[in-house]
Structure 1
């Protein structure tokens, strides 16, 4: 999908980047893991584990958008659920505003829900078909025991108007709306408690291409108006390039590269990131320049099983640069400070032989 379809948001984009660079992290993840046990037999003994997320490190700054990209099955959605504490991590630490929320109990998590919310991928399955839009969007007020000065109904109608829907939709049901409208309802529900961080799990992948740009623009407008921070999970690199301030690339449960958006798209250093970017369609095939002349990098083989990932570098089984050290030593995610092309402070790569 071409980013030419999106409206310009240069001023807001620059403001987010400036505020994010000067602020302490809103949320930080350190060595976060999520291993799902595999049980077999009558006694349901644990015989292994699916390492969906196997040690990720990153931070989200106030008012910024961190894009999280990678192939299907790499652990992006699981990471989003760990950040919102819909899942409890197997290992590692998640901190929000400096407070450790990794193993909070349900009662302790309730106040946290006001600050961290999630928008789900499928707008149809995330909305209860038996409830009206008013009760769906108003549910957070009821659960948290929040009384709106002008009443819950008025607050819900204001939220509907904020996301581009009519307040008259209050008494309608989800099946009466299109996919794009249902996603707007999900966004309104997420914004009900005025959160500081929204984790958006592929919020436009289930929508028609003509609607995707509208929803992405809505996310940007809401961020500029409300000062939100986003973790935007997606597999469409064109969408991520448009909306993100920084981008983290994930492969088989680990982050292999993280950088400012412009740095990553102009000078990706990890072979996996280079392969992903080579597959992005060029809007104008006749355009001259480096981007138009790039060659498609075709990866051989399939993604290894997260039950038994490769030793050393997990990408080595599909990498054209792999050498013996790649099978014995796992490359750390670090900033490259030496070599012909050292990276910036915000550009980190997990590779023994970066470009």
Structure 2
């Protein structure tokens, strides 16, 4: 996928109708100790996220391991209940719906899991795995469930003859295709893809990414993509949100974020992306962050990145920077952003 680095960046899709809106989304996992299991602290996995997703777009969440990306994905699909905040899907607040009321919405919001080995039941055949959504939602198909499952297998590049086989008979890439077929069974509107290619061989990753793009175009799907590989993210995303220690520190369209990142953390992340062109590689400075990522149990005050930031000053330790739009469609939470447009430099300085 590094070839995407050498391709001219395609323009971002025009923004359409809002499908998903997240406001102050928070998830804290309590830490309990002692015989009475009293709460002595909390892991602040997700701490006050605000973003929207429009129909037909791909929004990618990126950041270091442990920053809260996967927890965010599980909150959006309501596999986890939020501690606070709102999740609005198609104008309806689904933040605290009961399991019974969420059940009909499962048809519209689905998830592709990271591990193609652990997400498929080894005791069930492919036909039973992919056909499970029809049974659970009591959906009748025109030509029967078996025919519908075989059509789904063909859709994701597998053979209808695989219907009676078991997961252990397939490669990692084929298992991920089975998982994608199961996700597509009920024609969802929103798919949260949690690192869908990270567990696959590099030679297979491009095939699965291209399959996801083709399916998006064919069925008008909306993706929230969780990923580590920034080359893959650049290839598939319309917008990118950068997370650090439970918070979004920058969000922008793909072109703006990769060409003119504003938050120092984003600058550091992008400096680590491999460049196949040796001439360009020599011109770019590799930024190595000092120290380890702080604990989400006791994150730093104010700007959470200030303990590792080379631009940090006293204000970064005392005043939390809000996520502001510093350029059209480009938001960043930093007192001293990089690549700030000249027209807004004076305004940002005054605000600080």
TM-score by length of 2: 0.94
1:178 aligns with 2:171: yes
CA change 1:292–1:57 in 2 (3 A) is farther
Instruction: Let me know the Cα RMSD of the aligned residues.
Output: 1.6
Deviation at 1:83, TM superposition (A): 0.3
Deviation at 1:284, TM superposition (A): 2.0
Q: For 1:125-136, list aligned pairs within 5 A.
A: 125-136=118-129
In structure 2, the partner of 1:97 is 90
CA change 1:54–1:159 in 2 (3 A) is same
> Structure 2: how far apart are the matches of 1:137 and 1:334?
43
Q: Which of structure 1's runs of 4+ aligned residues deviate more than 2 A? A: 3-6
Given that 1:3 and 1:239 are in contact with CA atoms closer than 8 Å, whether structure 2 keeps it comes out as no
> Structure 2: how far apart are the matches of 1:58 and 1:238?
23
In structure 2, the partner of 1:238 is 231
> Structure 1: how far apart are the matches of 2:81 and 2:214?
32
1:329 aligns with 2:319: yes
In structure 2, the partner of 1:68 is 61
Deviation at 1:100, TM superposition (A): 0.2
> Structure 1: how far apart are the matches of 2:158 and 2:118?
20
TM-score by length of 1: 0.93
In structure 1, the partner of 2:154 is 161
Deviation at 1:292, TM superposition (A): 4.8
> Structure 1: how far apart are the matches of 2:40 and 2:254?
41
> Structure 2: how far apart are the matches of 1:179 and 1:124?
7
SS, match of residue 316 in structure 1 = coil
Given that 1:80 and 1:201 are in contact with CA atoms closer than 8 Å, whether structure 2 keeps it comes out as yes
Given that 1:331 and 1:350 are in contact with CA atoms closer than 8 Å, whether structure 2 keeps it comes out as yes
Deviation at 1:24, TM superposition (A): 2.6
Structure 1 unaligned runs (5+)? Answer: 337-342
Given that 2:271 and 2:285 are in contact with CA atoms closer than 8 Å, whether structure 1 keeps it comes out as yes
Equivalenced residues, count: 338
> Structure 2: how far apart are the matches of 1:191 and 1:198?
9
Deviation at 1:5, TM superposition (A): 10
In structure 2, the partner of 1:298 is 288
Given that 1:9 and 1:220 are in contact with CA atoms closer than 8 Å, whether structure 2 keeps it comes out as no
CA change 1:64–1:55 in 2 (3 A) is same
SS, match of residue 45 in structure 2 = strand
1:225 aligns with 2:208: no
